[in-house]
């Protein structure tokens, strides 16, 4: 059982330079948050009039460093069945198959006739994953960071329970063509760093199956009652021993 609870048994054997992150291409039905900055705030506000709210961050294009971006929950540009979004003044823009950074740069170029030194930030407004099975807190979680690993996902869910199989975690991912890819991950093996499932993508479904040794409901009750009975008998034995001295 102890062997089953270990993560990354042979982590020293892997070349960590092989761990690479690739930005995920945008797909149809994605909801994109887009915020635009420029030297002229009034002109920029015409493009951002529907986008106000809490702070987020994402792919960007333009001058300057990283900035906070305002985007209200549930608002953004929905990628339609043609893989396009519609932006005021710019019109329809093909985004499916591109990364957030590529879309940000494309929007920035199209804004040059209207704005001075435009700066564009693009991120997913509906990014989340779901983890179920033998974890402490199963449910749907927001992909709040650009890079979320399978270990981050497990950690946010409170780690696997003692009955969770670390050697056979399933990750189901929707591909750009609508098909679903099923991947098996062994969290005990350092080879997980090379897996396509190492970085969690939006709408991923993670399932941790139980071990065959997990007790049934009646077995669990029996084990609990046995432990209580043993404790009571031990207490009685101690009391009798003290009284008869």
Query: pLDDT of 145-193, one tens digit each?
Result: 778 999 999 999 999 998 899 999 999 998 877 789 999 999 988 888 8
CA neighbor of 131 nearest in space, from 164, 177, 175, 167 = 164
CA dist 230 → 222, 223, 244 (Å):
12, 10, 21
Q: How confident is the model at residue 68 (pLDDT cuts 50, 70, 90)?
A: very low
Mean pLDDT of 45-54: 60
Looking at residue 19, what is its pLDDT?
58
Largest Cα span, the chain? 98
Specify the DSSP class assigned to residue 135: B
Could you state, in order of their start, the residue ranges of all structural domains in the chain?
3-19+127-210, 31-124, 217-245
d(CA 42, CA 116): 12
Buried/exposed code over 21-57 (b: 16+ C-beta within 10 A; e: otherwise) = eeebebbbebbbbbbbbbeeeeebeebbeebeeeebb
State pLDDT tens for residues 7-27: 556 555 555 545 566 778 888
Looking at residue 136, what is its pLDDT?
94
**Looking at domain 31-124, does it have CATH number 2.40.50.140?**
no
Q: How confident is the model at residue 2 (pLDDT cuts 50, 70, 90)?
A: very low
Report the sign of the C-alpha dihedral through residues 162, 163, 169, 171, in that order: negative
Provide the CA 52 distance to its chain's centre, in angstroms. Answer: 24
State pLDDT tens for residues 120-152: 999 888 788 999 999 999 999 988 777 899 999
Q: What average pLDDT is seen over the chain?
A: 79
Q: What CATH fold (topology level) applies to the domain 3-19+127-210?
A: Outer membrane lipoprotein wza fold like (3.10.560)
Provide the percentage of residues in the chain whose pLDDT is more than 90: 36
Specify the DSSP class assigned to residue 158: T
Looking at residue 55, what is its pLDDT?
35
Mean pLDDT of 60-73: 38
- pTM recorded for the entire structure: 0.64
CB contact at 8 A, 55 and 121: no
Report the sign of the C-alpha dihedral through residues 205, 211, 216, 219, in that order: negative
Give the pairing of strands 139-142 and 84-87. Answer: unpaired
Looking at residue 48, what is its pLDDT?
78
d(CA 50, CA 32): 13
Q: Which of 73-82, 180-189, 196-205, 223-232 comes out lowest in average pLDDT?
A: 223-232
Looking at residue 111, what is its pLDDT?
92
CA neighbor of 27 nearest in space, from 110, 96, 124 = 96
The residue that leads in pLDDT, 229 or 151, is 151
Mean pLDDT of 35-51: 80
CA dihedral 227→232→235→241, nearest 10 degrees, is -120
């Amino acid at each position: 059982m102890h062997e089953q609870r270990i993560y990354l048994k042979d982590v020293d054997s892997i070349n960590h330079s092989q761990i690479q992150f690739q930005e995920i291409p945008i797909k149809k039905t994605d909801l994109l948050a887009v915020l635009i900055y420029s030297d002229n705030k009034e002109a920029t506000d015409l493009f951002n009039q529907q986008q106000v709210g809490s702070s987020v961050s994402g792919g960007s294009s333009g001058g300057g460093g990283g900035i906070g971006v305002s985007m209200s929950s549930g608002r953004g540009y929905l990628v339609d069945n043609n893989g396009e979004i519609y932006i005021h003044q710019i019109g329809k823009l093909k985004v499916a198959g591109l990364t957030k950074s590529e879309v940000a740069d494309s929007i920035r170029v199209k804004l040059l006739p209207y704005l001075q030194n435009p700066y564009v930030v693009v991120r997913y407004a509906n990014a989340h994953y779901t983890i179920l099975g033998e974890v402490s807190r199963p449910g749907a979680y927001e992909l709040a960071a650009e890079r979320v690993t399978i270990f981050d996902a497990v950690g946010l869910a409170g780690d696997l329970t003692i009955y969770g199989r670390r050697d056979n975690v399933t990750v189901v991912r929707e591909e750009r063509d609508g098909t679903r890819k099923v991947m098996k991950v062994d969290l005990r093996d350092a080879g997980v760093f090379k897996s396509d499932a190492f970085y969690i993508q939006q709408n991923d479904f993670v399932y941790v199956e139980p071990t065959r040794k997990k007790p049934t409901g009646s077995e669990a009750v029996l084990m609990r009652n046995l432990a209580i009975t043993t404790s009571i008998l031990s207490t009685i034995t101690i009391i009798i021993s003290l009284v008869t001295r």
